[in-house]
Each structure stands twice: as structure tokens, then as C-alpha cells.
């Protein structure tokens, strides 16, 4: 949001700077959350694949 204010050439205030920092922190938190969710999903799928292989070996 504040980045857009600067691009528009409007006055930069303390509030706009704080808003920009807040927006960036929110973005980074969401990015980490998505990354962690994908990582957990990959791990779960990997464990599922390993367990299927073990079942095929043990149960002919």
C-alpha cells in the first residue's frame, strides 16, 4: 500500500512507512505459512509412498 503511495508521488508520512513495514511483515508470515504447509504435505506424501512399498513387500 505505501509502496503505491510512493509510486503515485504522494507525501510519505510516518503512517505510510509503518503501513509498508506492516504489509511486508504480513506478506512474509503468509509466505512462510504456505511454504511450511507444502513441506508438511510433501513429507506426508513421502511417508505414504514408503508405507505402500513396505505393505507390498510384506503382503505378497
Distance, in Å, from the CA atom of 45 to the CA atom of 49, rounded to the nearest integer, reads 6
pTM of the model: 0.47
Distance, in Å, from the CA atom of 50 to the CA atom of 28, rounded to the nearest integer, reads 33
C-alpha cell belonging to residue 19: 503501513
Averages of pLDDT over each 10 residues, the chain, 60 residues: 63 77 86 86 88 78
Helix (H, G, I), strand (E, B) or coil at 19: helix
Nearest to 6 by CA among 23, 28, 30: 23
Amino acid at each position: 500500500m505505501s509502496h503505491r503511495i510512493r509510486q503515485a508521488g504522494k507525501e510519505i508520512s510516518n503512517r505510510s512507512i509503518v503501513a509498508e513495514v506492516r504489509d511486508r511483515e504480513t506478506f512474509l508470515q503468509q509466505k512462510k505459512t504456505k511454504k511450511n504447509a507444502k513441506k508438511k504435505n510433501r513429507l506426508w506424501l513421502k511417508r505414504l509412498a514408503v508405507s505402500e512399498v513396505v505393505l507390498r513387500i510384506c503382503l505378497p
